[in-house]
Amino acid sequence: MHFIGLSVVATGALLMTACGGSEGTATPDGRQIAKLQAHADSARKAFEADFKPVMADLSGIRDSIHVKLSKLDSAMAKLKPKDKGREEKEAMKAEVLREQALVNEAIAKIQDATESTWGDFKVEAHAAAKQAREWWAGIRDDQAVISKVNGGQ
């Protein structure tokens, strides 16, 4: 009978410790939980404030590239292989395709980022968006590629 009584006391002590009944293991109170939630909310807002504009830049440029490629394909379909201007159109298309690959790669890298992983991608994402914006600004008038084809003139 002593053995059963001892095991009931030992089991009770273990349950009290596991349930946080001991002095050494305090459970978080409402203030601590609210503080942790506020910190998580703040981190989420900061992430979204930084992530959304970068993703919008890259997505917008991706869409513009798609339109540009459609126009180039349409224009090239009207030209014969030896027609004047075909070389520039082909060079333009090659450059647009290269940039499309870079933009798609940047989007793929950051698409699944979260507030906890954004730090790993932040610098690269901003650099990719800046590069894409600068490239697009120079390419819209076709002059960047045409000058490369004509030897920088």
pTM for this entry: 0.65
Instruction: Give yes or no for residue 47 having a pLDDT over 80.
Output: yes
Plot region of 112 (φ>0 → left; ψ -120 to 50 → alpha; else → beta): alpha
Average pLDDT on 52-64 reads: 91
Percent over 70 (pLDDT), the chain: 73
Residue range 141-153: mean pLDDT, rounded = 47
Q: What is the mean pLDDT of the chain?
A: 77
Residues contacting 98, CB < 8 A, separation 6+: none
pLDDT tens, 64-91?
999 999 999 998 888 888 888 888 888 9
Question: pLDDT digit string (tens) for 104-124?
Answer: 999 998 888 888 888 888 888
